[in-house]
A and B are shown apart, each in its own frame.
Chain A
Amino acid sequence: MAAALGTGGRGQEAGQEKQAMQHKDPIAPERAEELKLKAKYPNLAQKPGGSDFLMKRLQKGQKYFDSGDYNMAKAKMKNKQLPSAGPDKNLVTGDHIPTPQDLPQRKSSLVTSKLAGARSTSILIGP
C-alpha cells in the first residue's frame, strides 16, 4: 500500500519493532541504527553532511602519483605555513598520495559490449 500523504516516511516505524514497544520507549529505527554506528565508530564526525563529506563526494576518480603533489605534502608537514592556494584550493592535491598498491590494474583493451555481441535469450510472446 502506498504510504499516507505527506508523511515523508522519515521516522515512520512502519509497523516493526513490536518488541521494543513492550519493553521500553520505542526507538525510531533510524536512531537505533545511528546508535549502532556510533558504537562501532566512536570517532565518527557528528554531521555527515559536512563539507569534508561533500568534498569527498566531489573528488571522484582514480588519483595517480604526482611528484609535485608528493613534494608539496612533504613540505606541508615540515612547514605549517604554506602560502594559501586561494579560495579555490583543491583539497585533494598534496593530501592523497597513492602508493603502488592503490593504483588500479591496467585497463583492458576496448572491446564490443556483451549486450551487442553475445546471443541473447529472446522469447517472443506469440500465439
Chain B
Amino acid sequence: WGGAAGDSGGGNDIQWCFSQVKGAVDDDVAEADIISTVEFNHSGELLATGDKGGRVVIFQQEQENKTQSHSRGEYNVYSTFQSHEPEFDYLKSLEIEEKINKIRWLPQKNAAQFLLSTNDKTIKLWKISERDKRPEGYNLKEEDGRYRDPTTVTTLRVPVFRPMDLMVEASPRRIFANAHTYHINSISINSDYETYLSADDLRINLWHLEITDRSFNIVDIKPANMEELTEVITAAEFHPNSCNTFVYSSSKGTIRLCDMRASALCDRHSKLFEEPEDPSNRSFFSEIISSISDVKFSHSGRYMMTRDYLSVKIWDLNMENRPVETYQVHEYLRSKLCSLYENDCIFDKFECCWNGSDSIVMTGSYNNFFRMFDRNTKRDITLEASRENNKPRTVLKPRKVCASGKRKKDEISVDSLDFNKKILHTAWHPKENIIAVATTNNLYIFQDKMN
C-alpha cells in the first residue's frame, strides 16, 4: 500500500498552501499552551481553540478584500478568555484539570455568538458579543461616570449612542456542573438547538441549554460491580438531522446508535456497529488499538466516521456489520506497537473531520504529519505542519514515510519520526477549503491555492 501512486500529485485535486501560524516559536512548551481542541463555527467565520490552561481563543476571518478577490481573509484574534480554572475535589483529594476537552458552537440566532466549552467535570455556555457603541450625554453623570451635582444641571439633553472602538466581551451565561462522576470526553448539540448531550467514561447526560440544575441520564454503562468493567465510552455525538438519534463509541471498537424515542434510558442500542475480528490475528494490542478515539457524523447524516489508533473507518448507518471504507493512517506503526505501548503513545486520542461536502476526510498523525483521504478518487496525501513551509503561494510538499527497506530521497524512516510532535486536533471549514491544524502549541491554517 502507499506505493508511488498513493502520494503523487497530492491525494486530491486541492493544492494546499500555508496561510498562517499562531503561537509561540520557542521549543520550550509550557503545559498550559498545549492546544486541546479546535473548532470552526457554523459559518466558518470564527475559529475557536481551547488549551490545557483552560483558555479559549477565538479567531475571526477578515472580510474578503474586494480589491484582492482571489485571497481569502486571514484569521485574527477576536476574543480570548479564561473558560475554566483548576479546581479541587476535596472528597477524593483529586485535582480537577482546567483543560478544555471540547468546544462546540451553537448556530447563530442573533448578533451574539454562543459556544459550549467543557473540562473534565463542568460545561459552560459562553456568550460572545460585540459592543461598538456607547451612550454619551447623560444628564446626571459625567462622561467618566462620576455623578454630577444635580443642582448644577441647568439644561436637559437626550443621551445618544456614539461609536466606540469594537469591544468583544465573553460572559458565562450557564454553568452545567455536578452531573459527571467520571471525565467528560464529548459534548454535542442537538439539531433541535435546545438540548445537548455530555458524555463521560460511563454515562451520557441530556441537558436543556436553559436549565442548569437538572439533566437526564440517557446512557449508563456502569456495571453494578466495577470489577466487571470491560469497556468505557470514548466519544458521543448527536445525529445532524434526527434530533432523537445519537451515537457513542467504546474502547472496544464498537459504536452504538440510540434512539431516544425508544425509552428514557437508552442502555439498549438500536444499532450496534462492529467489524468482526479475525481471532487468529488477535494480540495483546488488539483491543487497545481498536479503541475509538473519535466519532463524527457526515454533514449529510448518512455516514459516520470513526478513528482508532491506526485507521479511519467510514460507516454507512444502514450497515452495522462492517465499515464501507477503511483508510490506513500510519500502518507502519503496527510493527512498533511495543515501544508505542511503553511510551504511552498507543493511548493517544486522535480526532478526525469531514470536509464540507463529505468527500474528503482528514486526521492527524505523528511528526506533525496529517493525512487526508479523498473518498471519491481513493487518493490520499500526507502533509506536514511546520514553520519551514512558510512560503506564500507554494504548494505544500507531500510527505512519505518509509516503513522498511531502502529509504528513498525525501522519505523519512519510521524510526526518525518524532512521536512527541502529534497532531491530535484538526478542523475543516464548513464551506471552504480552509483547514486548521493544531500541533502541540501552534495553530496552523492552510488554504487551497486559488486561481
Are these two chains actual partners, yes or no?
yes
C-beta contact mask, A1-30 vs B, less than 8 Å → 1, else 0? 111111111111011110000000000111
Contact in complex: A114, B33 (CB < 8 Å): yes
B-contacting residues, A38-89, CB 8 Å: 38, 40, 44, 48-51, 54-55, 57-58, 60-66, 69, 87-89
Which residues of chain B are near A30, meaning CB under 8 Å? 281, 283, 285-286, 334, 337
Per the CB 8 Å criterion, the residue count for chain B at the interface is 103
Contact in complex: B286, A60 (CB < 8 Å): no
CB of A27 to closest CB in B, whole Å: 10
CB of B282 to closest CB in A, whole Å: 8
Q: Does B275 have its Cβ within 8 Å of any Cβ on chain A?
A: yes
Which residues of chain B are near A32, meaning CB under 8 Å? 335
Which residues of chain B are near A36, meaning CB under 8 Å? 338
Given A9-B331, A10-B278, A108-B30, does the pair A1, B2 have CB atoms closer than 8 Å? yes
Contact in complex: B201, A125 (CB < 8 Å): no
Contact in complex: A120, B450 (CB < 8 Å): no
Which residues of chain A are near B351, meaning CB under 8 Å? none
Q: Does B225 have its Cβ within 8 Å of any Cβ on chain A?
A: yes
Contact in complex: A64, B338 (CB < 8 Å): no
Contact in complex: B280, A11 (CB < 8 Å): yes
Which residues of chain A are near B323, meaning CB under 8 Å? 5-6, 8
Which residues of chain A are near B74, meaning CB under 8 Å? 122, 124
Contact in complex: B441, A114 (CB < 8 Å): yes
Contact in complex: B77, A116 (CB < 8 Å): yes
Determine the distance from Cα of A12 to Cα of B331 in the docked complex, in whole angstroms: 9
* 5 chain-A/chain-B pairs, Cβ below 8 angstroms: A4-B326, A5-B324, A51-B229, A60-B183, A120-B20
Residues of A within 8 A of B (CB): 1-12, 14-17, 28-34, 36-38, 40, 44, 48-51, 54-55, 57-58, 60-66, 69, 87-93, 107-108, 110-116, 118, 120-127
Leading 9 A-B pairs by shortest Cβ distance:
A11-B281, A66-B93, A29-B335, A116-B80, A30-B283, A33-B337, A62-B95, A36-B338, A123-B392
